[in-house]
Chains A and B, each alone.
Chain A
Amino acid sequence: MKKKINYLLENVKYPLLAIALAFLIGSIFVILTDNSPIVAYSALLDGSLGNIPKFGETLLKTTPLIMTGLAVAFAFRSGLFNIGGEGQYLVGAISTVTAAWVLQDLPGFILIPIILLAGAFGGAIWGGVPGFLKAKLGVHEVIVSIMLNYIALFLTNFLVRVTLNPSTLQGTEQKAYSVMIPEHARLLKFNEFMPVFGYSSLHVGILIAIACAVGIWFLLFKTTIGYEIRSVGHNPYASEYGGISISKNIILSMMISGGLAGLGGAMTIAGLTFKVDQSSGLPGYGFTGIAVALVGKNHPLGVLASALLFGIMSNGSRKMQFEGIPKEVVGIIQGIIIIFIAGEAMLKFMTTRKKKEEKGEVA
């Protein structure tokens, strides 16, 4: 037990230090804007954790970040950099709306799981494409998944403007968003059964996200699938030698990764927006997911904690703005955290390389 605590400490030490340092350096910028860091940070905390509805809103913002964070972390474990969380999230969202429209006559208890699965499936396909191209043709997954982000964006906009537009399906005038999913396809909100959540729109998606994190932890560390994926990530040659198919695991891991991001998009639709809006840019959850995974050290449970941190900063920044402090300060703090965490990886990389050199020297 003591060992486990030590292990935990060893692993959270650097991220906690990075966060503390980032807030410290962030306070310099607050002072530069003629404000007090104490005011700023208490506003940040009050805005995100001040009462239960505020906390609910924070969790609402945390939900998609858990999913995209898990997506990036999972792919990392197999040695892949899934930078396509944006596209997978979007495809997940649009698949959900499509499934809900097509199957709207089904009862809710069947429809809800189906539309969520449709979102995950859409994301899995979108993530599977770069995985397939990497496994079969050696095309780098970063290039393909970035490109697919834009394809997803414009495909989504096309579907929203034409195929799924209320003007096409319901005969209304042209709208800047898709058809709404039916009432009975929507996720339960917390304030419907726990009134203390008040105005918060928090929905049960957060519980699904937490379950996903636990599920991914189990998959990675307790099953043969996870064993193979981690082996391929650490040493593809040894994996091949051990009878593990590299291409199968690359495709599988990208599909699971994409599926997680897609489910993130699906839950936002089913729990919060109920429709997909036309958009000129990418939603940003996929990219923030990279930072979430990085801070969470690619561990599913670490991702939960770091997604919450990003949720707190995102939600609290509004309150900070009311206090007259530019919300860009939060962006700065996020950036500094990432630099420090990446710096830790670099530091570790350099120390292990030094050690390797020393080993070579002794020979």
Chain B
Amino acid sequence: MANVVEMKNITKVFPGVVANNNVNFALEKGEIHVLLGENGAGKTTLMNQLYGLYEPTSGEIYINGKLTKIKDPNVAISMGIGMVHQHFMLVEPFTVAENIVLGSEPSRSGGLKLDMDKAIKDVEEISAKYGLKVDPNVKVQDISVGMQQRVEILKALYRGADILILDEPTAVLTPQEIDELGKILRNLTGQGKSIILITHKLKEVMAMSDRVTVIRRGEKIETLKNENTNTDELAEIMVGRKVNLVVEKDDKVAGDVVMSVKDLQAVDNRGIPALKGVSFDVRAGEIFAVAGVDGNGQSELVEVITGLRKSTGGSITLLGKDITNRPTSDVIDAGVSHIPEDRHKRGLVLQHSLAENSVLGSHKKAPFSKSGVLDYPKIHEFCLGLIDEFDVRTPNEKVAAKSLSGGNQQKLIVARELSRNPELLIASQPTRGVDVGAIEFIHKRLVAERDKNKAVLLVSLELDEVMALADRIAVVYDGQIVGVVNGKDATEKELGIMMAGGSQKKQ
């Protein structure tokens, strides 16, 4: 088969960091080629060079056998390369058709007037040709994330892309939507398109790819054929050591109710209802997980429980005490610890030292302060203890939190929150953007809390994480709990249907 893309000896150096080191990569015509690697391995950097967002420090790129200098995305587009970014770049108030033609609009009257009829016709044609069904006349803000992704793919195809790069396309999709995407991609390759898929999820690699290229720390490790490999092998190559993908967890009978949420309601930042009557209990000695596609009220739920957002109705009881709409400091005092979903926004004051961060939330309590004066020697000693126990990799406790890697920042947050010995631990996306080693570690600590008979509320978008850890799983959709299933009995299919809004009973 002919190579439509060949990247030879690509090296990309940013000041102080070698993002890609002598990477070779080839894409055959009509294949789906997965680029696999951990966060920060350099996958996206490599593809951004193919799409003309960066220029390689050294190395050559051949498109259809011809040496090409791709100095910006316009060149890439003219070479038939299209990229669907992880974060969609759509104009929300515009219709699907308007978004697809944006930038290369068909026009009338010598370019003065947008030919909307032709745009709609073009979009209908192209969507029929590639089997990507969309309604050209609805606004993008009114369609689901899966649909928006189709619009992005159509946008690239409309510009004549033969080579499609998809950056983490499954992060925002339900399992069913992921299956659907797989079919769409197969259909596209059947019509002669070639596809590069960037991901760090092993299961999808096996389900979707023809070949896999694994990147670790900026270097290409291996290119494998799908049929010659398996997830365990890929995980090992990706991380560079044997990884235990299974979380060890004994059976355990849950104890008394620790937190009870009843008919909770809240609005999001735009004032639109985000929680529409959510009720559940979390018991001692269980991990209760909230699963769902991003943006279905999970963030608001955690914020309301922790006092960061006011509820508009309903109640939250912790160990018999009403904590509804109490200030965050009261919620902390009541025994709630919280690993926030966004460690840079909420979890840390990045400019403060690790020591100062390690007492955020308990800075007013003994032994860290006395009559309003902070006891810095004690705080430093405490922080050193956490660094040691939780294996936070840092030169010392005095450096600013921003100088740590994401995984180590997360470990510091987990350390701080667990050090308060909470009755209820809320872990919101606890492993987002951290390396596999840290994921293993954090999972173990969550299970350890459960085994210590504490209540754990896990909110996660990663279905694998939910299924590996949870004793019970609640699925949220559109601000409501669609159903609660036992972790042991849950299947991905069942959860997926619920995540898309289908009720448990319907199947």
Q: Which residues of A are in contact with B by a Cβ distance under 8 Å?
A: 222-225, 227-228, 230-231, 234-235, 237-245, 358, 361-363
Do B328 and A361 touch (CB < 8 A)? no
Q: What's the Cα separation between A361 and B48 when bound, in Å?
A: 9
Question: Is the beta-carbon distance between A243 and B374 smaller than 8 angstroms?
Answer: no
- Residue among B16, B17, B332, B374 making CB contact with A224, cutoff 8 Å: B374
> Is B351 interfacial (CB-CB < 8 Å)?
yes
Interface contacts beyond A242-B361, A243-B329, A362-B14: sample of 17 additional A-B pairs, CB < 8 Å, sorted by A: A223-B369, A224-B373, A224-B374, A231-B360, A239-B349, A240-B346, A241-B306, A241-B338, A243-B307, A243-B328, A243-B330, A243-B331, A243-B332, A245-B327, A361-B48, A362-B19, A363-B45
Q: State which residues 353-392 of B face A: CB under 8 Å.
A: 356, 360-361, 363-364, 369, 372-374, 376
Minimum CB distance partner of B332 in chain A: A243
The 5 listed contacts between A and B (C-beta, < 8 Å) are A222-B373, A224-B373, A242-B332, A358-B15, A362-B45
Smallest CB gap from B370: residue in A: A224
Stretch at the interface among B36-44, B245-253, B262-270: B36-44
The reply to whether B347 and A240 form a contact with Cβ atoms under 8 Å apart is: no
Is there an interface contact between B327 and A235, defined as CB atoms closer than 8 Å?
A: no
Residues on B with C-beta less than 8 A from A244 are 329
**Residue from the list A224, A238, A242 in contact with B345, Cβ < 8 A:** A238
Interface assignment of B136: CB less than 8 Å from any CB of chain A: no
Which residues of B line the A interface, CB within 8 A? 14-17, 19, 39-40, 42, 44-45, 48, 54, 306-308, 327-332, 338, 340, 345-352, 356, 360-361, 363-364, 369, 372-374, 376
Whether the Cβ atoms of B363 and A235 lie closer than 8 Å is no
In Å, the complex CA distance between A224 and B363 comes to 7
Contact B347 A238 (CB under 8 A): yes
Do A235 and B39 have beta carbons less than 8 Å apart?
Answer: no
* A238 vs chain B, min Cβ distance (A): 5
The one of A224, A227, A241 in contact with B340, judged by C-beta atoms closer than 8 angstroms, is: A241
Complex: A237 Cα to B343 Cα, angstroms = 10
Complex CA gap A225/B371 in Å reads: 11
B19 near A361 with CB under 8 A, answer yes
A134 CB, nearest partner CB in chain B, Å: 19
**A225 contacts B372, CB within 8 Å?**
yes
Of the candidates B14, B39, B346, the one whose C-beta lies within 8 Å of that of A238 is: B346
For A242, A244, A358, A361, the residue with the greatest tally of chain B CB atoms inside 10 Å of its CB is A242
Interface of A: prevailing SS: helix
Min CB–CB distance B44 → chain A (angstroms):
6
Q: How far is the CA of A101 from the CA of B363 in the complex (A)?
A: 44
Chain B residue contacts of A243, Cβ below 8 A: 307, 327-332, 361
List A contacts of B369 (CB < 8 A): 223-224
Decide if A235 touches B328 in the complex (CB within 8 Å): no
Q: State whether A242 and B39 are in contact (beta carbons under 8 Å apart), knowing that A230-B352, A362-B19 are contacts in the complex.
A: no
CA distance A24 to B97 in the complex (A): 62
Q: Which residue of A lies closest to B364 (CB)?
A: A224
Contacts of B332 in A (CB 8 A): 242-243
Q: Which one of B39, B306, B328, B352 contacts A363 once the chains associate, using CB atoms below 8 Å?
A: B39
CB distance from B21 to the nearest CB of A (A): 12
B-side contacts of A223, CB under 8 Å: 369, 372-374
Q: Are A227 and B347 in contact (CB under 8 A)?
A: no
Cβ B40 vs Cβ A362 within 8 A: yes
A-B pairs with lowest CB-CB distance, top 5: A243-B329, A242-B360, A242-B361, A241-B346, A243-B328
Cβ-defined contact, B54 with A234, below 8 A: no
Question: In the complex, A235→B402 CA distance in Å?
Answer: 12
Q: Are A240 and B328 in contact (CB under 8 A)?
A: yes
Query: In the bound complex, what is the Cα–Cα distance between A235 and B19 (angstroms)?
Result: 30
Q: Is the CB of A231 within 8 A of B352?
A: yes
Q: Is the CB of B329 within 8 A of A234?
A: no
For A362, the chain B residues whose CB sits under 8 A away are 14, 17, 19, 40, 42, 45
| Cβ contact within 8 Å between A234 and B328 | no
Closest to A226 in B: B374
Our pick among A225, A228, A238, A361 for the contact of B348 (Cβ within 8 Å) is A238
Q: Say yes or no: A227 contacts B356, CB within 8 Å.
A: yes
**Nearest chain A CB to B87's CB is how many angstroms away?**
12
Q: How far is the CB of A239 from chain B (nearest CB, A)?
A: 7
- Nearest chain A CB to B305's CB is how many angstroms away? 12
Residues from chain B with a CB closer than 8 A to the CB of A245 are 327, 329
Enumerate chain B residues within 8 angstroms of A239, measured Cβ to Cβ.
Answer: 349
Is there contact, CB below 8 Å, between B15 and A235? no
Contact at B308–A240, with CB atoms within 8 Å?
A: yes
Give the distance in Å from the alpha carbon of A358 to the alpha carbon of B329 in the complex: 37
List of A residues within 8 angstroms of B356 by Cβ = 227
Interchain CB contact under 8 A, B48 and A234? no
